[in-house]
Structure 1
């Protein structure tokens, strides 16, 4: 009991900053051991958990040694250095050396009280103490500082932490951190002194720190963080230098606490200097295989252009790449900047020389708490032992980002164990890759919908993708199970399998309201051909059953539609002179039916005027093999501001099965960053499908349909070939045009121009806006799919109704505004469109609201 009491006294003193040393009243100093004589034996007293032999192993004396005061004093210090003991003393008892110890308590539990902004798991990640660990005052006090630092990073500078403990039996304690989080310390205002060329508002948009406002509830950038100030200073320097201000510097960045101690005022004092242009730009090299003039033409900097600091770095990367192509893996490029204040020009000379040979000694990967190291390493374009190459490191960063597993990916280097070695550090920040959702809602695309999905794009941190989705909406219900292994058999080969079942109902957009039931399975493989190209092959076997919605009509014995003559009194029952007679179809609900008539479905073979598309009403097996070639030269896989990508895809149906066709699709896009927040992209795409070895044409379910989310401004399947009914009067004027059913087409082409523009809303809202222009068309039907014009019963008095197929592949175009919101509930998009060009029978829309589930 005495030892436990002493341990608590020492711990309590340590927690309040009191230092207890051996010999201060609680310990017996080693100096009290009188020298002389020989140690006969060593006895250990006071220990409860630690064995005598373990304690004796820490001592620098043993039986048979003399009572040496210096060695005994060192033994005492060694015992305290283990951290196992709260107190220790040495005493000479005759010829025996007695070692008395007081063990530090064992931590039973670590408890946090008063925390709400940071959960227990987050705090436990930061501290060192843990259950079943040794309780020491120094370690607890160190953890207190770690917790306070964590709260400061989250903007709570008024937070306080008081460690407490509860003694338990068997020399154990419950350690309790009592936390007072305090209010969030925000940024009340950000001010600039010395800026003349740019307003405070413009400069605030260039830094990370934001002023505290009520709408920034999704962000922590409006919390004061002193470490962020240095980063903001660098951002300001980059901004000014990228706009020609070569001499710009931040004189000071000061944060003052407000009188109420709840917020900070941040003030930057800057010196802008003068705006510079580029002067003479030269490249100098003594390397035999490199031509200075050729290298000069390779960089984009031109004399007279506005000076931009980032262009210097881009030029160095370009020259490094050019030197590598010429065979110089190790090249030292030094930009020499010579500003001329009189002319406000900066002369630049790039000096190239064969640099020291530097190799990658080690690659460290940090931050991947869920993803395995090898998943990241296999995306890197360099390996340990390779020559250091910055261009390849940039490519590696883009490849790791393209995985979609990480919020941030940063690659840096540090000195290695020798001058010719460097260490590459890859720091990543994980983001969620799995999703379990249960949703119900309404959209203008699918009306009422119900969606349940489970997906994981990084299964067990191995980069594998698993998707299990069940979805139901007005038009479509499907079940989809997928698995994809990016490194099949540990080779650079991706493999996947897909099982699916789909039921689609296009009653309101296509001929006769057809329905399809599809069930099938597929396998796919993909592999890279080069750094920027890859090739994929696939095979799919599926059963398609197409059924047109039943629509009963009454026909005569000759197969024509039965009609009857009715007379309209035209509003004057007593005056037969203005009566109008017209032929109308006999209702199948009429009872009894006229003689020599019968009720059949509109697609029945007995109906002589049935649509030619009725022949598609059958079940077929499709055996489809295909390939896709992708070429990606974008400078960024997430938000490209330069480069292009393109894709070529072909599917061949007819390797067995009932369906035979060749389907080809090609698409390509180019990207351009204009300035910050403004990006432009242009995409073109086209497709064509052609039957093989038969005269039956292409079934309607295999044709191309465009509209809705694929062609903004037009309804789903809103453009392209369509069956229409035109009612004309006696003079041939169209009285009424009914847009019946979309038929799809064998070909399509489309171009899209999109300009992402700033919306001046806080970034925390996650709202993006873009202006767009869509142009293209869908068309071309086989002769067997085109119905000849035929007269049908009319519903409008005094008119003649004609049904016919319209297949003009004329240009359609639309323009508008697209607003995307990356909401906490999933991505949402609003499209506002204005039709620029259309055919009279197209179905258009001016607004579309759509949601999608992340996978």
Structure 2
């Protein structure tokens, strides 16, 4: 290979290759496979080696009977519950190992942390079947004496302990240990996490929680480009573990050709040391939408609650002032914004109706179920989210509208450390009183790296018929993304993505349907210290007049 040493002859690896080949056969049911010593021949030009592995495959075996012995705590039916092994199926040793892990976890969840299960395989060459008996050594019930935490020079002990799902003086639970490991990793405070049981006596262990901290504070100044913001300068100061308390403080400023903003965020993940989180955001944003300006200044307070390990909810109160205009004065943009002011009469009617100042006072309720293994770069699990927003009415303000969004993503591990990641989003928003409008900035802008790659911002939805340039946003959206994620440089967390996007924002009054816009392309991702960095090129498979054949975009931020 041009980028590593694969394909280079290594004599010392031959024995390992023999075992790898043997394992491949075992995983396909060839239990009596015979492999001889490999023969190595050098080509006449002395540039290549030919390696031949002599193989006698033998018959493929199937399960004739599956059983257990040595067990007293659980019945056969309890141990078989959830097993994927079936009598008559081909014996695949990888599946046998997975079943051993499953049964071991059954014991581990009840405090038998050191149970040992081994398969006894009795093949019958005549019938080409084998009887598999799992020999169980249950061991003793194990309790946790002490939990010792080390390596946390900055992070306070209680910040780590509150993420653990194993407690002192209780029976050990291996499933809870795995969940604790996952939760500590998802804090994103540590380079490495280890949870190691150290046996004190036959029925007691100490748990050694060893972490290696990484920098949680960043200061960055840089630039970027997107189809909405165009060129932009960004300064960001973030501390994700403030004073070792697990709190988040973030200050972000952006000066761009199309967007200028300032945001201040503070988050307390365990309010009053309970499973409650609190977050406060203060923000000011100015955005140029091709032919008009939108200014937002406001604040919100978010209270979150965990109902279980995977189910959470949040309640937000938001208060903001909006100003929509076509006046370039008092607007702060990089290089003057690179904009041209359009006369009011040339603006889309939707925008003309909303020129001036308004106020939004809203309650936002959200619920999510999240089983992803790793939040930043998931390989398995799913996330289901539902958000509802209600503005105006008894809450005050001049904007009366509602908004509902469902956002769901799934992650399926595939061969060669690849992941299939489909995502589905549906949203609807409307004003509910006569004389009031859904603020144009609260409409759904479908198109761009966050929604439909291959389209410029908002152009997979309604566009003004006056200039065929101004994006209007939609009151309904339906988006399906299909990503196939594969490793490129594993040690640097660089990945590639092949994607197909199918969706659109619907015109006002248009009925729901599946005649959606299409795009496909390739994306590069780097899980950097500043968050996921994305470079995407999408090809518009449903090109219309005025649209580009393809769009290249760049972003830094969350994938979900």
From 498, 518, 540, the equivalent of 1:835 is 540
Choose from 377, 381, 401 the match for 1:643: 381
Q: Counterpart of 1:616 in 2: which secondary structure?
A: coil
Q: How far is 1:742 from its partner? A: 1.5
**Are the structure 2 counterparts of residues 499 and 333 from structure 1 closer, same or farther at C-alpha, using a change threshold of 3 Å?**
same
CA distance in 1, matches of 2:370, 2:491: 30
Q: Report whether the alignment pairs 1:668 with 2:408.
A: yes
Paired residue secondary structure (1:399)? helix
Q: 1:443 to 1:666 in 2, by over 3 A?
A: closer
Does residue 489 (structure 1) correspond to residue 489 (structure 2)? The answer is no
Matches within 5 A, 1:510-521: 513-521=291-299
C-alpha distance in 1, partners of 2:122/2:71? 27
3-state DSSP of counterpart to 2:444 = coil
2:478 alignment counterpart: 749
1:423 and 2:152 are equivalent in the alignment: no
Deviations 1:97-117 (A, max 9, x none): xxxxxxxxxxxxxxxxxxxxx
- SS of 1:530 mapped into structure 2: coil
Tell me if structure 2 keeps the 8 A contact 1:463–1:486.
Answer: yes
Separation in structure 1 between the aligned mates of residue 135 and residue 188 of structure 2, nearest angstrom: 39
5 Å matches for 1:263-342? Answer: 279-280=63-64, 282-284=66-68, 291-293=75-77, 295-302=79-86, 304-305=89-90, 307-309=92-94, 311-312=95-96, 314-319=98-103, 328-330=110-112, 332=115, 334-338=117-121, 340=123
1:624 to 339, 353, 362: 362
RMSD over aligned CA atoms reads 3.8
Going from structure 1 to structure 2, the CA distance change for 1:398 and 1:765 (only over 3 Å counts) comes to: closer
- Between the aligned partners of 2:348 and 2:485, the Cα distance in structure 1 is 49
Question: Are 1:483 and 1:497, in contact at CA under 8 Å, matched by a contact in 2?
Answer: yes
Query: Residue 846 of structure 1 corresponds to which residue in structure 2?
Result: 550
- Alpha-carbon separation, structure 1, partners of 2:257 and 2:468: 21
- Indicate which of 425, 441, 444 corresponds to 1:704: 444
Partner of 2:463: 722
- What is aligned with 2:431? 691
Match runs of 1:145-224 below 5 Å: 191=11, 192-194=13-15
* Mapped pair 1:539 → 2:279: no
Distance in 1 (CA, whole Å) between partners of 2:408 and 2:174 is 29
Q: Secondary structure at the match of 2:153?
A: coil
Contact 2:377-2:527 at 8 Å conserved across structures? no
Which stretch shifts more, 669-678 or 516-525?
669-678
How big is the shift at 1:382? 0.8
1:353 offset after TM fit, Å? 7.5
- Give 2:159's aligned residue: 375
Structure 1 residues 289, 828: CA separation in 2 closer, same or farther (over 3 Å shift)? Answer: closer
Q: CA deviation at 1:274?
A: 7.1
Distance 1:489 1:808, change over 3 A: closer
Q: Which of 285, 288, 306 is matched with 1:528 structurally?
A: 306
Deviation per residue, 1:782-825 (Å, 9 max, x gap): 69xxxxxxxxxxxxxxxxxxxxxx99984111111112245689
Partner Cα distance (1:274, 1:374) in 2: 57
Shift of 1:642: 3.0
After superposition, the Cα gap between the structure-2 partners of 1:809 and 1:640, relative to the gap in structure 1 and judged at 3 Å, is closer
Aligned pair count reads 513
| Selected match of 2:198 from 409, 414, 417 | 414
Cα distance, 1:638 vs structure 2: 4.5
Report what 1:812 is aligned to: 517
Deviations 1:506-540 (CA, angstroms, capped at 9, x unpaired): 12xxxxx1211111111111111112111111111
Helix, strand or coil: the match of 2:470?
Answer: strand
* Distance verdict in 2 for CA 1:807–1:547, change over 3 Å: farther
With normalisation by structure 1, the TM-score equals: 0.54
**Using a 3 Å threshold, how does the CA distance of structure 1 residues 350 and 661 change in structure 2: closer, same or farther?**
farther
Give the whole-Å Cα distance in 2 for the aligned partners of 1:766 and 1:287.
44
What SS does structure 1 have at the residue aligned with 2:80?
A: helix
Match of 1:298, SS state, is coil
Residue pair 1:334, 1:350 contacting (<8 A) in 2 also: yes
User: Cα offset for 1:700?
Assistant: 1.3
Distance in 2 (alpha carbons) for counterparts of 1:613 and 1:454: 35
The unaligned stretches of length 5 or more in structure 1 are 1-187, 204-235, 249-269, 508-512, 551-599, 726-737, 784-805
- Is contact 2:354-2:437 (8 Å) kept? no
1:449 Cα deviation from its structure 2 partner: 1.4
Contact 2:280 2:299 in 1 (8 A): yes
* Larger-Rg structure: 1
**Given the superposition, is the C-alpha separation of residues 478 and 277 from structure 1 closer, same or farther in structure 2, using an over 3 Å criterion?**
farther
Determine if the alignment matches structure 1 residue 458 to structure 2 residue 244: no
The change in CA–CA distance for 1:501 and 1:402 in structure 2 (over 3 A counts) is same
Q: CA deviation at 1:740?
A: 3.0
The secondary structure found in structure 2 opposite 1:724 is coil
Q: Deviations over 1:647-670 (max 9, x none)?
A: 111111111111111111111122
Give the deviation of 1:486 after TM superposition. 0.8
Query: Contact (CA 8 Å) 1:283, 1:295: kept in 2 or not?
Result: no
Partner SS state of residue 706, structure 1: coil
Q: Tell me by how many angstroms 1:610 deviates.
A: 7.7
**Counterpart of 1:457 in 2: which secondary structure?**
strand
Match of 1:565 in 2: none
Distance in 2 separating the partners of 1:278 and 1:425: 43
In structure 2, how many angstroms separate the alpha carbons of the residues matched to 1:455 and 1:272?
Answer: 59
1:300–1:315 contact (8 Å) kept in structure 2: yes
Query: Compared with structure 1, are the counterparts of its residues 314 and 375 closer, same or farther at alpha carbon in structure 2 (3 Å cutoff)?
Result: farther
- Alignment partner of 1:472 is 2:255: yes
SS of the aligned residue for 1:541 comes to strand
Q: Would the alpha carbon gap of residues 612 and 847 (structure 1) be closer, same or farther in structure 2, given more than 3 Å must change?
A: closer
2:289·2:470 contact (CA, 8 Å) conserved in 1?
no
Task: Select the structure with the greater relative contact order (CA < 8 A; seq sep ≥ 6).
Answer: 2
Displacement, 1:695?
Answer: 4.3
Native 8 Å contact 2:279 2:302 kept in 1: yes
Instruction: Give secondary structure in 1 for the equivalent of 2:351.
Output: helix
Change (3 A) 1:854 1:451: farther
Q: Report the CA distance shift for 1:247/1:432 in structure 2 as closer, same or farther (over 3 A).
A: farther
- Provide the rounded CA distance (Å) in 2 between the counterparts of 1:395 and 1:715: 41
Give me the TM-score of the superposition, normalised by structure 2: 0.80
Asked whether the equivalents of residues 320 and 391 of structure 1 are also in contact (C-alpha less than 8 Å), the reply is no
Q: Is the 8 A contact 1:750 1:776 kept in 2?
A: yes
Q: Judging changes above 3 Å, is the alpha-carbon distance between structure 1 residues 776 and 825 closer, same or farther for their aligned structure 2 residues?
A: closer
Q: Residue in 2 aligned with 1:254?
A: none
Shift of 1:699: 2.5
Query: What SS does the corresponding residue of 1:376 show, helix, strand or coil?
Result: helix
